[in-house]
Amino acid sequence: MKKMMTGNEAVARGAYEASVHFASAYPGTPSTEILENIATYKEIIAEWAPNEKVALEAVIGASFAGGRSLASMKHVGLNVAADPLFTFSYTGVNGGSVVISADEPGMYSSQNEQDNRNYAIHAKIPMLEPSNSQEAKDMMVDAFNISEEYNSVVLFRMTTRICHSKSIVELGERQEISPKPYERQLDTYVSVPRNARNNRHKVEDRMNRLQEYTETSKWNYTISHGSTVGVIASGMSVEFAKEALGETVDYLKLGFTNPLPKNLIQEFCDNHETVYIIEENDPYIENYAKTLGCEVIGKDLFPYTGEMTPDVIKRCVLSQQVEELEVPQDLIVPRPPTFCSGCPHRGFFYELGKKRKKIIVAGDIGCYSLAVGEPYRMMEWLICMGAAYSTAHGAQRIIDLKDDDDRRLVAVMGDSTFFHTGINSLLNTIYNGGNTINVILDNRITGMTGQQDNPGSGFTLQGGDAAIGDIEAICRALGVKHVRTINPNDLALVKETINWAMDLDETSVIITNWPCVLKKHYKDEDFEMYQDMWKTKDYVIEEKCTGCKACLRSGCPSLIFNPETKKTSIDPYTCVGCDVCAQICPYDAIQKEGYHE
């Protein structure tokens, strides 16, 4: 049977056909949908983990116990998981194991553009790179065979365009493979120096054997059109090059890319007068080819950043400019990313903005990072997940050394980020006697990546009930003496709580607790805790509205200002009755409308 699938859906199907037993991940674009689709296969235990390191560690345990296991993450997630990955390379596997890295050339939703192919070289593990959905499914099946044959975790490198674009996939049957017996292997799995030194030699032997494999791998092959010009590419760049250059050139398509096939590359270069190496991000293949003495054209012609889309390739190789549709710029309405209507983060950032000259705000990764934009302009830095508290602590240490600077550091992160690595970051502040104000914007869900459940939401990935992590209790258990949990839609309470924290000279934590308006699942106790949640709307009494625009400082997209009438109105279809704008209005022109079931 054939089916149209995204690359992420195809990977999930491949995991099913490969008889994967256990999968774990932390959501992150563009990899999120891999686990969401794996979760639909009830034959596979699929779990969200608090972070990528934990996900990989769970997968390692599943492999040692004999199960086929898989961890998926976006490219920066592999930085978090790098620690166990490098040791997993030494211990090897029992049940086959694969780590998926979804890289993002062009940085559409990420803080950097790193090329994770380098991790395969660094960790000394085999790597596969699909270039379409069919390959994503088929390679995933083969990845587990390679993993078990060569006793190594396999890096499966995707990119955004493969993850999210669709192509036809021929489905296969599921292999019925039972978990292998667990064997006690202290000399292998216990990675103390004595054992690690022995395993180090096994790693080198494995890479030598893989060097022979890569020359004959079915994923590395030549496509000949009788041209004197050749293109070497891997992953999505293969498809881009085919679309741009068609049958005017020959191709060396590489799908198994660590180790790279020395003889294939050398032979291809020897047989062509001109060879282009087209690849996104780093000159991974180009540098290798040059070490072989091959004369190739790579990053000296193609841009070092972004996707190598057909228009880019045509511009670089053929000096062709692709015709683009001209859109009248005056018709484009500028729409910077912003919080949703009724987002519980609005009230907090509105009040925090009043302290602008007295504070410095350290940001983190999540919906709340949108506070960097208008009208808030609150974030002063943003590094990586879980870094807000620790960067704020370091900055506060320096600020406190200065006689002429008495500003306070306010560090913000969400509930999911707190569970990810924020706990460790907060513990560092407490342990070292810090005095920062640490905020947990708890909206009961992992919002930015698409409403995935987490240890605070009460549900597992596959829909089961779960224990709810008590964030306030965790903070107190870490040693925080000053903790308050508040409703962020109550502006008077938010103001009073910020002032309370500003007056303290010890570590404090403010937890703003109100659900994301897009949250998918609720329990009965949620409706008891958050009374009248989303059951009312607000409206403007036009006679009272003076057009002062004070309400617009909430930044809510449901508020519409008419420049002709100089009055504000509220979109009834998007308003969820959070009442933040009503509390801001100085003329009581915004009132609560009736009760909606």
331-345: pLDDT as tens digits: 877 777 789 998 999
Distance CA 371, CA 365 (A): 11
What's the mean pLDDT in 188-193?
93
DSSP lists the bridge partners of residue 70 as 23, 98
Reported confidence tier of residue 595, pLDDT bands at 50, 70, 90: low
367 is in an annotated binding site: no
* pLDDT at position 28 over 70: yes
Lowest mean pLDDT among 282-296, 331-345, 531-545: 331-345
Residue 402 has pLDDT above 90, yes or no: yes
pLDDT at residue 419 tops 70: yes
| Residue 294 counted as an annotated binding residue | no
Is 475 annotated for ligand binding? no
Topology of the domain covering 344-529: Rossmann fold (3.40.50)
Per-residue burial over 408-421, b = 16 or more CB atoms within 10 Å of its CB, e = otherwise: bbbbbbbbbbbbbb
Question: Is 581 annotated as contributing to ligand binding?
Answer: yes
Mapped onto helix, strand or coil, the DSSP state of residue 134 is: helix
Look at residue 259 in the predicted model and tell me its pLDDT.
Answer: 98
Average model confidence (pLDDT) for the chain? 94
Which fold, 220-318?
Answer: Rossmann fold (3.40.50)
Mean pLDDT value across residues 195-203:
95
- Asked whether residue 316 is marked as a ligand-binding residue, the answer is no
Amino acid at 393: H
Q: Indicate the helix (H) or strand (E) that contains 6.
A: strand 2-6
Q: Is 343 annotated as a binding residue?
A: no
Task: Choose between 536 and 310: higher pLDDT.
Answer: 310
**Is CATH 3.40.50.970 the classification given to domain 2-215?**
yes
pLDDT digits (tens, 9 = 90+) for 145-186: 999 999 999 999 999 999 999 999 999 999 999 999 999 999
Pairing of strands 127-128, 256-258: antiparallel
Place of tokens 């959905």: 133
Q: Is 516 annotated as a binding residue?
A: no
Tens digits of per-residue pLDDT, 420-479?
999 999 999 999 999 999 999 999 899 888 889 999 999 999 999 999 999 999 999 999
- CB atoms closer than 10 angstroms to residue 435: 16
> What pLDDT band is residue 348 in, cutting at 50, 70 and 90?
very high
Q: Where are the beta strands (DSSP E) in 387-474?
A: 408-414, 437-442
Instruction: Just give the CATH number of 537-593.
Output: 3.30.70.20
Question: Tell me: the pLDDT tens digits for 472-525?
Answer: 999 999 999 999 999 999 999 999 999 999 999 999 999 999 999 887 777 777
The average pLDDT across 305-318 equals 95
Is the pTM of the predicted complex or chain greater than 0.75? Answer: yes
pLDDT at 365 over 90: yes
Listed by start position, the domains of the chain span 2-215, 220-318, 344-529, 537-593
Residue 312 to residue 278: CA distance in whole angstroms: 10
Say whether pLDDT at 596 is over 60: no
Q: Do domains 2-215 and 344-529 have the same CATH topology?
A: yes
Token representation of residue 527: 């409706």
Would you place residue 349 in the very low, low, confident or very high pLDDT band (cuts 50, 70, 90)?
Answer: very high
- The string of DSSP letters for 84-127 reads HHHHHHHH--SS-EEEEEEE-TT-SSSS----THHHHHHHT--E
Query: What integer pLDDT is reported at residue 450 of this predicted model?
Result: 86
Q: What local confidence, expressed as pLDDT, does residue 322 receive?
A: 77
545 is in an annotated binding site: yes
